Structure 1
Amino acid sequence: MKYTIVDSHVHLYPESHLPTLAWHKPGNPIGGQYSIDQYRLAAKKVPTGDQKSDDGEPYTLRGFVYLEVDRKSSVNEADGGWKHVLDEVSFLARIINGEPTPGEGHKPEDSELCLGVVPWAPVPAGQETMQRYMTLVQERMGTEKAWRKVRGVRYLVQDKPAGTMLGDGFVESLKWLGREKLVFDLGVDARQGGLHQLREAVELCRRVYDGVKDDEKVVIVINHMCKPNHRVPYSGRESIISHPEFNEWKQYVSAMAAAGPTTYMKLSGQFTELPPLPAEPEPDYDSLAERLEPWTDVIFDAFGPARVMFGSDWPVCNTGGGGQSAWERWRQVVQRVLDRRGLTEEEKQGFWGKVAVTAYGLDADI
């Protein structure tokens, strides 16, 4: 059986852009050049569509969905808060249009690897501001080809004050996104941000979907399993499923899934939540899959295989996954998760690529 991978969660940035990143500090383990050249190296064991595998590799990498990389920004345009995020859009336009600037780390032939783009947007500001901002995004994209690849937006709430998601402007923006057929990527953090973020996200789903026609409901793609707390004491499955924090996380995740068929979940981002892996030796992939199983079972039980997709969270995955081998390590873990779950071949094909194509409305035949 052949599987075509659409990596639903990738970040890219050239080293020259590091000063524009909100989270960059001296000594940052991913404070270097992480562009398409480096991404290709990270995923080198999986051939892309224009390459051939000599070792019978059943996987092909069709491409990725780019997620905004949390540049310095603010909702207020007047204070210059849109400068760096719009420059990020211009960088992506150069990738998609095959017009690299020297030193940016991509080539004209990389254009087709970028299947979709999810830029930052001033979501709390409401519909009018969103419309103005997205007009600027369209201008920066430069071509119809590039603009068509803008499939949604993200505004990270994992580091924002409580109540941010429930503001009138936030809810209004998501309803507008639904009418415009644009996705919203939801980033919350149960471990570091607190479970109250998930409780708020459940209420957000209720408000966004309440009274909205089915064909105007926004697609919400939830990042990284909501970053569950894998640091709770672990001595086997029972130690997890009996833990109150696990059960509260389960309650909220299940409620998000039940909010409607337009909520999706990414199986991604877990290397930053698990205890860090060393660069050497190779980890025990079966043990890692077993440790994740209580949590991934909740995801598949709640969303069903038709609403769960693969994402690498590259290069952030490198920080807990042992460095440059983290992309491939995560693929190996996930393969075992799917096998332990007993997914059918059709469900596996969906997970690796077709679910992302459906959720984001990608123009990609797989």
Structure 2
Amino acid sequence: MMIDSHQHFWLYNPERDSWITEDMQRIRRDFLPADLEPVLRQNGIDGCVAVQADQSEAETLFLLQLAEAYGFIKGVVGWVDLRASNLYDRLEFFSQYEELKGFRHVVQAEPEDFMTRPEFIRGVRQLAAFDFTYDILIYPNQLKAAFHLVREVPEVSFIVDHLAKPYIRDQKIRTWSNYMTEIAKHPNVYCKVSGMVTEADWQHWKPEDFQPYLDVVFEQFGPDRLLFGSDWPVCLVAAEYDRMKSILENYVAPWGEEVRQKVFGANAVNFYNL
């Protein structure tokens, strides 16, 4: 089964979705399963994981409703307040939804030390009781805090979204590479090969721009802990789905069909228990 491990749906709201800036006009509209389903079919993808884009429980329920209505949505990564005093009760409530696989917080919008704060670590630790995963969405300057989090909570399965958004446009790699190497030493941490085109020069990127970053994650995480993700529809500001997908397809081609099957499906099935 071929899986896109990371994409989004939304009913566009300019106030709520202010992160979609003027230069992202292409995605300033609604994006729903009916828009994505033919794209997945054209690209040989059997299913996807829908990931939160808004920090609300309403967002989680919205995605779960879509997953119930559309069978190709195999899993949901939602949002819950991980610092809330009633977090256990909320996790217990959400555990009734089979399609809900884990949670994410938009940490990239938070201070650098956010993931090292005791109340956040306590919240993430509670995910283990319900076998929920946690998606790490950060910038490279937050990798040190991410390393602290995964070291403190070995009982939770983590996945780093978008390779932690390396500075591909500026071709900076050393500090990012050093921290990714350390994080990858923890076997409970996976990485999504996603979101790369939007970290490059949107209009002028070339496939070879991504090779140094792919070399790092393939060497450090290995083919068993890497997942293909499109970050659709966000990727559309820099590339159509097929062109974005071809970057990773061409990179893994020399590795053989077994590795391709893992990165484009089997690893997502294993990580999210799809």
User: How does the TM-score come out when normalised to structure 2?
Assistant: 0.92
For residue 315 of structure 1, report the CA deviation from its aligned partner.
0.5
In structure 2, runs of 5+ residues without a counterpart are none
Q: Which amino acid aligns with 1:134?
A: L
2:126 and 2:93 map into 1 onto residues whose CA distance is: 17
Q: Does 1:132 align with 2:89?
A: yes
For residue 23 of structure 1, report the CA deviation from its aligned partner.
2.4
* CA distance 1:222–1:136, shift in 2 (3 Å): same
Equivalent of 2:232 in 290, 314, 320: 314
Superposed CA offset, 1:326-366 (max 9, x none): 21111111111112xx313211101100000111111xxxx
Q: Which amino acid aligns with 2:39?
A: A
1:291 and 1:302 map into 2 onto residues whose CA distance is: 19
| Aligned residue runs from structure 1 range 142-181, under 5 A | 147-181=97-131
Q: Does 1:252 align with 2:179?
A: yes
Tell me which residue corresponds to 2:33: 36
* CA distance 1:293–1:334, shift in 2 (3 Å): same
For residue 24 of structure 1, report the CA deviation from its aligned partner.
4.4
Tell me which residue corresponds to 2:17: 21
Q: Does 1:94 align with 2:65?
A: yes
Superposed CA offset, 1:107-149 (max 9, x none): xxxx2111001111212x16x43223334546xxxxx5xx011
For residue 90 of structure 1, report the CA deviation from its aligned partner.
3.1
Equivalences, count:
273
2:124 and 2:23 map into 1 onto residues whose CA distance is: 37
Q: Does 1:120 align with 2:120?
A: no
1:137 and 1:86 map into 2 onto residues whose CA distance is: 10
Q: Does 1:188 align with 2:138?
A: yes
CA contact 1:18–1:32 (8 Å) conserved in 2? no
CA contact 2:67–2:75 (8 Å) conserved in 1? no
2:242 and 2:23 map into 1 onto residues whose CA distance is: 24
Tell me which residue corresponds to 2:170: 232
Larger Rg: 1
Identity of aligned residues (%): 26
User: How does the TM-score come out when normalised to structure 1?
Assistant: 0.70
For residue 173 of structure 1, report the CA deviation from its aligned partner.
1.6
Q: Does 1:206 align with 2:151?
A: yes
Q: Which amino acid aligns with 1:311?
A: G
- Which has the higher mean CA deviation after the structures are superposed, 345-354 or 26-35? 26-35
Q: 3-state DSSP class of the match of 1:112? A: coil
CA contact 2:24–2:237 (8 Å) conserved in 1? no
Equivalent of 1:67 in 33, 48, 51: 51
CA contact 2:64–2:100 (8 Å) conserved in 1? no
| Aligned residue runs from structure 1 range 243-322, under 5 A | 245-258=172-185, 260-277=186-203, 287-288=206-207, 290-321=208-239
Q: Does 1:218 align with 2:189?
A: no
CA contact 1:118–1:152 (8 Å) conserved in 2? yes
Superposed CA offset, 1:156-213 (max 9, x none): 11110121100111111222112321000000112xxxx2x1111111111222xxxx
Q: Which amino acid aligns with 1:359?
A: F
